[in-house]
Amino acid sequence: MRDFIECFLDDEYISGHDNIVRRLYPAYKLRWNPVLRPEHPWEMADPPAMTAPSVVKHVGSADIAMYYRCRGARDGRWMVCMAESADGRSWHKPALEIHRSGIKGDRTNILVRVPDGIDEILSFWVLRNPYPEESYIFLALVETLDEDGRRSAHVLGSMDAIHWDISRKHTFLTRQGDARPSLLRCDDGLFRAFILADAGSGFRTIDAMCSTDLVDWSAPESLLSITDEDAVSGVRLMGMNPTKLGPFYLGLLSVSAAGCAGGDSAGPARLELAFSRDGARWGRVCPGCAFVEPGEPGSWDAGMVCQSSGLFEIGNAWLLTYGAGAESGESNPPLNIGVAWTERGRIIGIHQADSERCGTLITTPVALEGGNLIINADNARGIRISLLTDDNQPVAGAAAANSRLGRKDDCRWIVTWEDATGAESFNAAACPKPLKICFEISGGAVLHAFETAHEQGRPYQVNIRDFSRPS
């Protein structure tokens, strides 16, 4: 049995509920943000800007590599640079041989410069190819603006995510007004490019194009749009960066707030979430609720938070990198890069709607054979768990009154069932058929997720205390 996690981002695994409410839990920001600032001549345009970070794991000797855009002081043209990290918290810029700078030819962290005939590199989205035997180990979707003002998207390949084969790029032109593409390889074997599309009358949608070979692409289809309430308040979509986490896909939606300067990339902006189970059908998670929002007035990211990486996993934390700028009277404030994070599985919280009554959530049948049942919860002692058959009949020995919780780590608890003598009354790992799980929530408890995991559990090598979560 494969390990499984359910975070209640939709109702797929909920068969019934009473007196519960679902709330989004925003990500935390590292207290030492920003993790990257402009410091080299090739990063010091006026105003300095480091933005559009993309992250991929296990590049060469680095555990994590970040790719970001920056502009040089001499010509102000965008280029792509690289930073490395072992833990997602501390980053450094490697000295590479690819492009040198200055009279002495000093090594730099520049990977890609603007080629002839191209005016700007607008984005550089990197992913590891799940099927590297087909071509390259790493792929990059690059958005460019040519000298005639036309946007294009190019797919580049690399064996090490450092040296990119620009001569063998696959190119496809997006429609007029399309922008900010990102790329994902889904479990169905299809590549999907997600594009910010112009829907007319000032509205934007997130569209998707599919391909099996990165050469021939399907016609774009609309995936996500703003709500009627968003339209009234002037909210606009600004792009989506997706990733696969366990059994599902999460997209970080860049959303502009009302009054956004220029209506596109400047002014107040935030990151929201989108969710999919197959990479093809997507929905917004708690529309209007920020997963990462601008900082407090006067902070480095008070003006806007946008152009993020996808979420990536380090130990028992999910992290993302994001470009952000301070408040400014200008349309283009200086941009730096920060990191935000959340504990693994803690995106949604299931609360009692009425604190005077117990809340109940019943799942659809879940396979428990060969694994432990683990819950991710706050105030977990206020949660009781029972197992039910398909027709909601109680399973002998697995009543709520018999449930016990044993702490596994800072976030999670292993569920067992015992009788009055303390002996095991039910062994979930030996259960041969799927069963429904009934969660009874009271006493201010919050249920975030549940997992079925093998006996040895997940090898978490990073503790959430390392990220200094606010109290």
Domains along the sequence of the chain with CATH: 4-25+348-466 (2.60.120), 28-343 (2.115.10.20)
Strand order of the β-sheet with 110-112 is 50-59, 62-71, 78-85, 110-112
- Banded model confidence at residue 263, pLDDT cuts 50, 70, 90: very low
* Predicted confidence (pLDDT) at residue 164 exceeds the cutoff of 90: no
Q: Quick one: what percent of the chain has pLDDT higher than 90?
A: 51
Per-residue model confidence (pLDDT) at position 288:
87
Confidence of residue 343 (pLDDT cuts 50, 70, 90): very high
Quote the pLDDT of residue 103: 62
pLDDT tens by residue, 286-319: 998 999 999 998 899 998 888 889 999 888 899 9
Distance CA 290, CA 31 (A): 19
State the distance between the two ends of the chain, measured CA to CA, in whole angstroms: 37
Q: What angle do CA 117, 118, 120 make, to 5 degrees?
A: 160
In this prediction, residue 85 carries a pLDDT of: 93
Name, in order, each residue with C-beta under 8 angstroms of 414's C-beta and a sequence gap of 6 or more: 372, 373, 374, 405, 406, 407, 408
**Residue 165 pLDDT more than 80?**
no
The pLDDT tens digits of the residues spanning 32-63 come to 999 999 999 889 888 888 888 999 987 666 68
Please tell me which residue, 74 or 422, carries the higher pLDDT value: 422
Neighbouring residues of 201: CB distance < 8 A, sequence distance ≥ 6: none
Of the pLDDT bands very low, low, confident and very high (cuts 50, 70, 90), residue 120 is confident
Q: How confident is the model at residue 145 (pLDDT cuts 50, 70, 90)?
A: confident
Q: Helix or strand or coil: residue 429?
A: helix
pLDDT at residue 232 is higher than 60: yes
